[in-house]
Structure 1
Amino acid sequence: MFSCEDSSLSPIHNNNNSTQPPNDNFYAVDEKKIKICFVMIDGIGEVNSKRLDGKTTLQSAHTPNMDLLAKTGMNGLMDPVQPGLACGSDTAHMSIFGYEPRLHYKGRGSFETIGAGLDMSPGDIAFKSNFATWNPQTNIVELRRADRHFEDIGPILCDYIEKRCEEGGFNANHDCIVSVKYATEHRCGVKVSGKNLSGDITGTDPLVDNLELVKCEPVKGLKGKELENAQRTSNLVNDLSHFIYEQLVHHDINKQRKKEGKNEANIILLRGCGVCIDVPPFSVRHPGLRPVMVAPTAIIAGLGKSIGMDLKKVEGATGDYRTNLQKKGSGFLKYLLGEDEPGNENKYNFGFCHIKAVDDTGHDGNFNLKKEFIEKSDQMIGMLMQEFEKRKQRAVFIVTGDHTTPCYYLDHSFEPVPLIISANYLNLEKHPELADTVQSFDEVYAKGGLGRFTGKQVFDIVREYINITTSQEDFMKF
């Protein structure tokens, strides 16, 4: 069995704070003509529930394909950043991709904004932002998410705010340029470009419904010029927050929503101020891998672009409840196998596919819908498995989540998440030792051969798994 405590699985990074790429490589992937298929099911983890007869949503869901991967592979429990930490998707993905978030994290705003389609330059600041409902008389943010369904009106309101910042004098009065781009659901990216802007500030989001709108301020501990720039930037952000309210509250869309008894989207909460990260590209961090990503969710797409992953769009993949996971899987497969254009067969050997809807169900407290989207995710994975098998294409599958999002809590929690790694080319009849004894994919059964480990160890494990399972020809059936 594999073990994270095994000397053969020693971590790539001897120094966790190192900015240098690891010495080990993934060259066996090309040598053995392997494609790595990494499926990230956002928020898949859960706690057991009386509503589900003491099971988790993952245990109660019908997942024959992930169960098959569990039976034919190695299983374990992953703490995305560290044990006991309820992490965000951005820091979790950074850790799993091999970038220590405590060293490299510069705020989630830049990821959301880049993922939404805005380019960022050094000196720009950006925010992960929500359309929300605010009561100016009480200063209470009544709903942090005015509505999840902003696909039609979100782009209109974003374009309007950006236009009003220019035409209404905000940019000129504050010597800056404000850019606003719709992302998904209730989210948008807000970028501010200008001189001497500081990312060392808080935001305006209270993070919980029915609390007061927060005043943006410099983070604690700043002095001198840093404090001066942060104070000026904070003042600008507070002014921007109120300017946006003045534009939205009078917009025809909100007047109509009010008539229809819908929540007004009368303010944008500015959260997670971020600047560009400066890190080695993914292909340098993991020599031998050439990555492609399908991730409609802006914050994940922005992180992928920030580390040099090729980002691809798939029709029908929306990053919300409307998503068509079969279309998403088919598009992902097409790009990973290079079937989009002649001659692209070897362009990518590592594919990352992100599924968001499962996380949304946890935030919405919808047990049945979470179970449904887990099952839809399983069906997509089953399609990928079949297509690789049809083509006799050697593939390594990795399936996991970036954190738990229990329906009881309506938010991220700290429990570890299950992880599978399985290869379709293994001759398990001859070498059963290449799989552990786990029979299904869930939080309880995941006590497999990998043990418990942190996100930063994932690619160490993947590399060693590939090296071991390809080290002898009779390990492989094709």
Structure 2
Amino acid sequence: MGSPAEPKRRVAFMLVYGLGDVSIPKLGCKTPLQAACVPNLDAIASAGVNGLMDPVEVGLGCGSDTAHLSLLGYDPRVYYRGRGAFESMGLGWQCHLEILHSRCDLASEFTYSHKLFPYSFYQQSNFATLDEKTGIVTSRRADRHFEEEGPILCSALDGMKLPSFPEYEVRVRYATEHRCGVVVKGPRLSGNISGTDPLKDNRLLLEAKALDDTNEARHTAAVVNELSREISKILVSHPLNAKRLTEGKNVANVVLLRGCGIRIKVPPFEKKHGLWPCMVAPTKIIAGLGLSLDIDILEAPGATGDYRTLLTSKATAIAHALSAPSQTCPSVFVPGEDEHKPGRSDGYDFGFLHIKAIDDAGHDKATIFKVKGLEAVDQAIGQLAKLLWQAKLTGNFQYFICVSGDHSTPVEYGDHSFEPVPFTMCRLKDFVGAIGGESVVLETSLDPFPLPTVKACEDLNEDIALEAERQCKQVQSFSGDSVFELNEIAAARGSLGRFPGGEMMGIVKRFLKLNA
């Protein structure tokens, strides 16, 4: 974007998964964003325009997949066909235009295609815990920190056979945290079935049922139910689970299956918006969604999509991609291949940086971790701004920074909610003015830093958390509208008002045009 005679206009968009929240008594009736010390986020708000965004529409507590589609300009009511293709593509399976069953929590996603077998289905799954005596799912996530055990259990499941359906091939692949992917290939499968996931802890494990009166749907439900039972048999007898039991940990003894869908066919992001896009998204469903929109997925070493992710690596990958060709662009993930390909030689116009850990904090009801996690996100923004400013000094680029969330995940609820999320966007040069000048930006350390651990954060008391908030330097209004801090309350005063997520890309493009 931009002619050779003028600086290329490029956008760094940071999407903080589960950003929004509600007022929490433990934090003095503040939201985590209000309680956190986030001078860089506040400087973006001070330097630019702000508003409250409903990711899809007012009053809808949406999933991340539908929210991301909406934010990127694709109406989920028109294009959404389930999570299955997104999860599967993110895991590296090449999904053509085929029916896919969606996300399961040791849940799963399924597809059926016309390659090799008449049909196949893909599943993205969570390792979960089942009370075998009562049939109740006591925990839909056996353990978030499953990086060592997950691949071992996946290896035990890979290639398993279904006694009543020996003609089917079953493959299993580890994803991130408590998740894995499963693909079943064979004939006579239908996507029109219900799932086994009760969707809440402490509810009975469900059986898959046909949702129409076809033989294929009834047959598929039988296959899925046997698949669930056979996976549980293997997991229950695995020595790793015996070890976890002696250690007092949750066992991973069930796979919950839910949803179905087909891969979407949509205009590529670049054709729709006129911006060459790239993405850093270790979370498989988001990476797969990006691939569905022809967005290049960048490699960022140490970026894991969980609490242990390396935010500095994400910021560096996006900064280099947005400053190419003067910098070496990170390599790009190719589904179905073991190797990566080089990134776009001329760089990218729209860099999507995805951060998952804040959503995990909401789901885990980890109040202080969400505060401290947001402070870590703020630190990463400072690093991103430094790298972009260094590239801007060459005179080849004009940068913009945009920050928002895909939905609210309040720690009081432990789940997604319908509250809107704050949105903010500014020119990088105005951010530099708001944060205190070039010297402040260039003094930012680029040393990698870890996210705080959940346990360490929850050991902090509320006085420590609030003291950190009181000591945070306040950024005053610099330019743009009258907002000078990023949070759910302040954003409501912004010049953008309250708007649906489907308008976000239009706002971004208008902001670029007005600041050309």
TM range (shorter): 0.7 to 0.9
The answer on whether the counterparts of 1:47 and 1:56 sit within 8 Å (CA) in structure 2 is yes
* 1:233 aligned onto 2:279: no
Q: Deviations over 1:396-423 (max 9, x none)?
A: 1110000000000000000000001111
The answer on whether the counterparts of 1:127 and 1:272 sit within 8 Å (CA) in structure 2 is no
Give the one of 229, 241, 249 matched to 1:254.
241
* 1:333 aligned onto 2:319: yes
Give the one of 437, 460, 468 matched to 2:482.
437
How much does 1:128 deviate? Answer: 3.0
Identity of aligned residues (%): 46
| 1:29–1:445 Cα change, 3 Å | farther
Q: Distance in 2 between matches of 1:30 and 1:373?
A: 41
> Partner of 1:399: helix, strand, or coil?
strand
Q: Under a length normalisation based on structure 2, what TM-score does the superposition of the two structures give? A: 0.80
Q: Which position in structure 2 is the counterpart of 1:468? A: 514
| 1:307–1:194 Cα change, 3 Å | farther
How much does 1:150 deviate? Answer: 0.8
RMSD value, Cα: 2.3
* 1:452 aligned onto 2:488: no
> Partner of 1:436: helix, strand, or coil?
coil
Q: Under a length normalisation based on structure 1, what TM-score does the superposition of the two structures give? A: 0.86
Q: Which position in structure 2 is the counterpart of 1:105? A: 80
> Partner of 2:348: helix, strand, or coil?
coil
Q: Distance in 1 between matches of 2:315 and 2:140?
A: 32
Q: Deviations over 1:180-229 (max 9, x none)?
A: 2111111112222333422222211111111111111233xx35xxx332
| 1:385–1:331 Cα change, 3 Å | same
How much does 1:335 deviate? Answer: 2.6
Q: Which position in structure 2 is the counterpart of 1:95? A: 70
> Partner of 2:375: helix, strand, or coil?
helix
| 1:465–1:434 Cα change, 3 Å | farther
How much does 1:95 deviate? Answer: 0.7
Q: Distance in 2 between matches of 1:314 and 1:428?
A: 26
Q: Which position in structure 1 is the counterpart of 2:356? A: 356
Structure 1 segment 59-138 matched on structure 2, within 5 A: 59-121=34-96, 122=98, 123=113, 124-138=120-134
How much does 1:469 deviate? Answer: 1.5
| 1:137–1:60 Cα change, 3 Å | same
Unaligned segments of structure 2, at least 5 residues = 99-112, 114-119, 330-341, 434-476
Give the one of 397, 408, 413 matched to 1:409.
413
The answer on whether the counterparts of 2:175 and 2:181 sit within 8 Å (CA) in structure 1 is yes
Q: Distance in 2 between matches of 1:306 and 1:113?
A: 11
How much does 1:109 deviate? Answer: 2.5
The answer on whether the counterparts of 2:162 and 2:227 sit within 8 Å (CA) in structure 1 is no
Task: Tell me the number of residue pairs that the alignment of Structure 1 and Structure 2 aligns.
Answer: 433
Q: Distance in 1 between matches of 2:279 and 2:52?
A: 24
The answer on whether the counterparts of 1:29 and 1:349 sit within 8 Å (CA) in structure 2 is no
How much does 1:382 deviate? Answer: 1.2
1:95 partner amino acid: S
Q: Which position in structure 2 is the counterpart of 1:208? A: 200
2:421 partner amino acid: V
The answer on whether the counterparts of 1:418 and 1:442 sit within 8 Å (CA) in structure 2 is yes
Give the one of 253, 262, 280 matched to 1:275.
262
Give the one of 46, 52, 66 matched to 2:21.
46
How much does 1:70 deviate? Answer: 0.5
More displaced stretch, 329-338 vs 362-371: 329-338
Q: Deviations over 1:232-269 (max 9, x none)?
A: 21111111000101111111211222222221111111
* 1:398 aligned onto 2:388: no
> Partner of 1:422: helix, strand, or coil?
strand
Q: Which position in structure 2 is the counterpart of 1:371? A: 371
More displaced stretch, 342-351 vs 63-72: 342-351
> Partner of 2:199: helix, strand, or coil?
coil
| 1:364–1:426 Cα change, 3 Å | closer
Give the one of 303, 307, 310 matched to 1:317.
303
The answer on whether the counterparts of 1:130 and 1:145 sit within 8 Å (CA) in structure 2 is yes
Q: Distance in 1 between matches of 2:5 and 2:132?
A: 59
How much does 1:28 deviate? Answer: 8.1
Q: Distance in 1 between matches of 2:432 and 2:370?
A: 33
> Partner of 2:490: helix, strand, or coil?
coil
Q: Which position in structure 2 is the counterpart of 1:7? A: none
Structure 1 segment 422-433 matched on structure 2, within 5 A: 422-425=426-429
